[in-house]
Structure 1
Amino acid sequence: MLIIVFLQSVIVVALIVSGKRRLENALPLFCFILTLMPLEAKLVIPGLFDLNIMRVSLLTLLGLFLVKRKKSPREKLPLIKLMYMHVAWALCSTVYSLSFATSIKQLLAQLIEFYLMYYLLVRTITNIETIHKMLYAMAMAIGICCILSLFEVYASWSILRIFPTSNWITYNGGLDPLYSELGRGLRVRSTFPHPILFGDALAISIILSLYLLGYWAKGNRRLFLWVSLMLMFWAIYKTQSRGPWLATIICSFLLFLMVKKEIRKYLITAAVMALVVLLARPGVWQSIDALYQASTDPNQPVGTSYLYRHALADSIVSAVQKEPGRLLLGYGLGTFRVLGLEVNFLGVTKRWYTCDNNWAAFLYETGYVGLILIGILLFWPLILAFRNYWKLPKPESTLSGVLFISIAGFYFLMLSVAAYSWGQQGYMNWILISMSISLPAIARRRRRAIKESRKQNGSGQGFDCHPHLAHGPEGLADDQLTQTALLTSH
């Protein structure tokens, strides 16, 4: 328990120090912490809630925001009304919940951890360089997670063992945090609750790392990104998770189509290196092929997981149709994991406590109305990101395309695992949403800054609002000019 108190104290001090001059300076560290730290790093307050490192970090950021905020006219934030509507409906669902205590805790957790974080980030981010630093911090955190995975594979040791055994999330009767499965063997999870969730974070981080490699022309950060990227490919293979593999392929293809020039070159380089590994290590391809064959065999444990997801969806639809109240309001947030659901699977009716389809979980917990509301809330920023990809100037348009791909990839992954509110990848998703929503304001700010800078220099030139106005492949020249103008204005 002392190590948790020590870690939380160090993190609070580090955030305060990094945000002492400008709160925006603390955001990269904040993203690094939320991506790296496990759910096991928590102080359990009996009967109330868990005080994990993510919540401590968020409360610290909130304190800094309240101390440093300035009274100035602020633009209306997108998504806020949708958040109000979703919270209001979730509250109605909570009143009708099978477990009021479980649902109210889950509602407060989502309200604070996701919606409050969104508000703080969008209100604090003012320039694209901050976003790049935040993305880099997340990529480095995942890189460290990959290094920790090496110990799982080659030393049979998990970093999670440093935390109290009562905090462990285990799958073998509480004996060890290491995850082993019949038919697949050891599957790495690093600091994440489950190998699939680690794979989800890796699939997103690979895309973000490729983008950063194309954005930064030189520097030590490129070396760290290349090393991390190679470790990410190794780790995602070692998760033995089919969903993240497929998501990585789909997202990489979209990245190739939507984002050109330097990023394409690095994407092709990464693909060639992966091909070389497959040719040099035939065992890698054989294990992938064996997993595919097992996935298509309903008599294999791996193959039955797909059948379970279909049976699960059917059982959830049947459960919410039992009465009009459940059809509209569901059974309450968090009730599936706590109370479970009887699922008829392979001719046997058994109570299951894992919902391997987050969209189905939304339906079960908040009904059809709740599913529609959360669907609109989550897909609206995706639509905005795609629109910004076409409308904003570079480099904001390029980044919007990358964020669109990453967020879409996460939503695809939610079809095969409860990834929304369990594990670090849920925070990562809302961080990406916050970045995407911030980009139009950043572009407007950049236009004003460049225009004012040109006026001060006596150039008398108008500002070109064409999407390809900036110099260089990603608009770096104007971006650097903007950073100078914005920093002097703060």
Structure 2
Amino acid sequence: MALNAVIILMASIVLVAVYRRGYDKGLSCAIFLLLLPPSNLSIELGMWVSGLPGLTIHRVTIVIMVIMWLRRPDLRRSAWSVRFGGLYLAMLFGCTIATIFSGNFTVSVKRLAFFLFESIWLFFVLASSIRRRETIDALVRAATLALVGAAVCGVLEKRAGIVVPSYFGMRAQSEFVARSSGFGGGDVASTYGHRILFGVAMAVAAHHALHMSVQAKKKWAVAVYLAFSAIVLLALYYSQSRGPWLAFLLSAVVAVLLCHRPYVKRLLLCLILGGVAMAANPGIQRNISALYESTWDPSTVKGSSFRWRFQVMENATARLSEAHSPVVFMFGYGFGSHLFMQFAAVELSSGHFGDFTSWDMEFAIVLFERGVFGFLTLLLLYGLVFGRGYRSLIRGSPHKDMLSLSMIALFALVFMKTNVSFFAPQLVYLESLHVAFISALTSRRIE
């Protein structure tokens, strides 16, 4: 606890000092602090006052970001006109209604506050603060370095047994949970709390690093970012998760369709080198082949988990259709309600049953907790974000490289919401960052 408090205090002092050197510099430093540290780097206020949430380094960072943003009247005024802002406010409205009628009111209120602070407000701060292309480049650089830092932590966890979150008190939900339940063996979670969530971050990080290698002007910088790309891809493999692997490959296809030739060449080079590494190492081939073969075998844990995603959505839909009032049907059961819902065992395949104990699908959680209104609003947001981004691309946007990166990153994140629950806050921040990029790049002229 004392170590956590010291680290959070020092990080806060550094962040404020960087903000004083320049608002954009402070914003970049804040993004680094939002994406790298684990969520268990926190001060547990509940030890002194029952019911209070933990004061994580992420929440302290966002508090400082908001304070610095509030000191800029020009940014506050422009926040009301940011693109997609209306949909974020609509989501907040729907979630507020759901919270009022929630059967788990205390939990829902806390999570609503987190949603307001860590998602809604963060988006408005970022979207209104981006006025120059240099700002975007600095934020992407900071995000890339943070994600590479997480990759390094993952490699250290795999190769040296150094688990970074364990130094901050309790160990985050990492691979010992997976091993005890029959998943994986030697997989890593780094600072993201779970191997799948870590894999999601690495799938996005690979595109970040490749983007930076293309943007770099000096040869040494190009070499450094290509080395970062290799480290990230190694960490992605170490996550031992099929979903993030597939997310990276599918997003690579999107990249081939959207990106400039230099980026596509670097991406194809990485894929070819990855294929060569697989061909040279039969162990890697066997490992990947075994994982994907088990996907179709319902008698294995991996196979059951694959089918579980479909069952989760079916259960969420069924429970919502049985809602006791039209308000609950429209706005859901409220934040955190999925944690308290118990379901009977379900048949995953012929003669193979499983208890409904895990919500491994973010979209199912959204539907259950936010109802039809919240679910459709989120889908509309994604549709408009991709639609606006694509329209700007085909109209010859001078920022094609950045628009493409954000669309690729968001594609990977949205795809993975069909595979896992996003309980790692860093992924929420990463999504807000890229939506803010597309909001800024498609709504006004970037200086």
Residue matched to 2:425: 423
Cα drift, residue 264 of structure 1: 1.6
The amino acid that maps onto 2:421 is A
1:276-328 alpha-carbon deviations (Å, 9 max, x no partner):
21122111111101111111111111111112222222211111111344322
Larger radius of gyration: 1
**Residues 406 and 445 (structure 1), Cα distance of their counterparts in 2 relative to 1, 3 Å cut:** closer
- Please state if 1:162 is matched with 2:164: no
Cα drift, residue 345 of structure 1: 4.0
The amino acid that maps onto 1:145 is A
Cα drift, residue 156 of structure 1: 2.5
TM-score of the pair, normalised by structure 2:
0.92
Residue matched to 1:486: none
Residue matched to 2:377: 373
**Residues 71 and 194 (structure 1), Cα distance of their counterparts in 2 relative to 1, 3 Å cut:** closer
> For the Cα contact (< 8 Å) 2:259–2:400, is it kept in 1?
no
Residue matched to 1:412: 415
1:188-244 alpha-carbon deviations (Å, 9 max, x no partner):
100011111011111111112222212223254323312211111111111111111
- Please state if 1:60 is matched with 2:64: yes
Residue matched to 1:458: none
1:399-439 alpha-carbon deviations (Å, 9 max, x no partner):
112211211221011000012x5331111011111111111
- Please state if 1:216 is matched with 2:216: yes
> For the Cα contact (< 8 Å) 2:35–2:146, is it kept in 1?
yes
Residue matched to 1:244: 244
TM-score of the pair, normalised by structure 1:
0.84
Counterparts of 1:13 and 1:91 in 2: how far apart (Å)?
A: 34
Cα drift, residue 389 of structure 1: 1.6
**Residues 445 and 157 (structure 1), Cα distance of their counterparts in 2 relative to 1, 3 Å cut:** closer
Cα drift, residue 179 of structure 1: 5.6
Cα drift, residue 124 of structure 1: 1.6
- Structure 1 unaligned spans of 5+: 447-490
Cα drift, residue 108 of structure 1: 1.1
**Residues 365 and 178 (structure 1), Cα distance of their counterparts in 2 relative to 1, 3 Å cut:** closer
Counterparts of 1:343 and 1:124 in 2: how far apart (Å)?
A: 49
The amino acid that maps onto 1:372 is L
- Please state if 1:300 is matched with 2:303: no
Cα drift, residue 177 of structure 1: 7.4
**Residues 350 and 278 (structure 1), Cα distance of their counterparts in 2 relative to 1, 3 Å cut:** closer
Residue matched to 2:400: 397
The amino acid that maps onto 1:298 is P
The amino acid that maps onto 1:319 is R
Counterparts of 2:247 and 2:75 in 1: how far apart (Å)?
A: 43
Residue matched to 2:330: 328
Alignment map for 1:29-40 (pairs within 5 Å): 29-40=29-40
**Residues 343 and 400 (structure 1), Cα distance of their counterparts in 2 relative to 1, 3 Å cut:** farther
SS of residue paired to 2:355:
strand
Query: Aligned-residue CA RMSD in angstroms?
Result: 2.2
Counterparts of 2:97 and 2:281 in 1: how far apart (Å)?
A: 55
Alignment map for 1:23-422 (pairs within 5 Å): 23-46=23-46, 47-70=51-74, 74=78, 76-165=81-170, 168-170=171-173, 182=182, 184-323=184-323, 324-325=325-326, 326-346=328-348, 348=353, 350-352=355-357, 354-394=358-398, 396-419=399-422, 422=424
> For the Cα contact (< 8 Å) 2:28–2:139, is it kept in 1?
yes
Q: Which moved more, 1:122-131 or 1:193-202?
A: 122-131
Number of residue equivalences: 437
The amino acid that maps onto 2:439 is I
Counterparts of 1:426 and 1:32 in 2: how far apart (Å)?
A: 14
- Structure 2 unaligned spans of 5+: none
Counterparts of 1:148 and 1:392 in 2: how far apart (Å)?
A: 39
Percentage of pairs with the same residue: 22
> For the Cα contact (< 8 Å) 2:393–2:400, is it kept in 1?
yes
